[in-house]
Chains A and B, each alone.
Chain A
Amino acid sequence: SAVISQKPSRDICQRGTSLTIQCQVDSQVTMMFWYRQQPGQSLTLIATANQGSEATYESGFVIDKFPISRPNLTFSTLTVSNMSPEDSSIYLCSSGQGGNTEAFFGQGTRLTVV
């Protein structure tokens, strides 16, 4: 199984600022994903982080708001830009290997925007 570490685990941020969340996997993985879990809700996929190319965003999410980096096969970052209180959520990183059935998650980053 893959162990995924996210930093920070939580943060309280002022509106208008940006926060970068880091995701580190203990082994090389093909796929990395970023999800958002709004309060009391399920998980929604933000984007797939592609190594060596731009991330693939889901409908409703754009690169200017959620820029993503994937510099290598074990690391990715998600930035939440120009934050507003509506961005208050848990952000989770996930990894997967093409053809491997298991999909593991980090512990999440609990973001509160005030």
Chain B
Amino acid sequence: GEDVEQSLFLSVREGDSSVINCTYTDSSSTYLYWYKQEPGAGLQLLTYIFSNMDMKQDQRLTVLLNKKDKHLSLRIADTQTGDSAIYFCAEMDDSNSGYALNFGKGTSLLVT
């Protein structure tokens, strides 16, 4: 299947910005997502971006998409201790996946 890759760990200081990166291989990806998973909890949809966009901003969150390089990033401004969690990048190719998502392994963000 298609791959979604993320770095496994990121540590930032409270108040700094966090940037979590993701690369994917499916050139037909239609939508790209960021989810947050806190310990013992399910997945919280943070934001998503359509593949014909290159940026989306939602309060402290900024998503950048470089479709040519198949690179997606999530920037969290003014990172707080409550942002400590695992962040999953996911892609959907609605042409053949039946709207199921393909996930990366997750980036564990630690805010100190």
Residues of chain A at the chain B interface (Cβ within 8 Å): 1, 6, 31, 33, 41-45, 48, 56, 92, 94, 96, 98, 101-108, 110
Closest residue of A by beta carbon distance from B48: A101
Check if A108 sits within 8 Å of B99, measured CB to CB.
Answer: no
Check if A110 sits within 8 Å of B40, measured CB to CB.
Answer: yes
Check if A92 sits within 8 Å of B92, measured CB to CB.
Answer: no
Closest residue of A by beta carbon distance from B98: A48
Check if B98 sits within 8 Å of A56, measured CB to CB.
Answer: yes
Query: Least Cβ distance of A42 to chain B in Å?
Result: 4
Whole-angstrom distance between the alpha carbons of A105 and B94 in the complex? 18
Check if B101 sits within 8 Å of A42, measured CB to CB.
Answer: no
Whole-angstrom distance between the alpha carbons of A105 and B33 in the complex? 13
Check if B105 sits within 8 Å of A31, measured CB to CB.
Answer: no
In the assembled complex, 6 residue pairs joining A and B whose CB atoms fall closer than 8 Å, in A order, are A33-B100, A42-B104, A45-B102, A56-B98, A103-B45, A107-B41
Check if B43 sits within 8 Å of A101, measured CB to CB.
Answer: no
Q: B94 to chain A: which residues have CB within 8 Å?
A: 98
Q: B48 to chain A: which residues have CB within 8 Å?
A: 101-102
Whole-angstrom distance between the alpha carbons of A41 and B106 in the complex? 8
Query: Least Cβ distance of A89 to chain B in Å?
Result: 13
Query: Least Cβ distance of A10 to chain B in Å?
Result: 9
Check if A42 sits within 8 Å of B41, measured CB to CB.
Answer: no
Q: A41 to chain B: which residues have CB within 8 Å?
A: 105
Q: Which of A56, A101, A106 has the most CB of B within 10 A?
A: A101
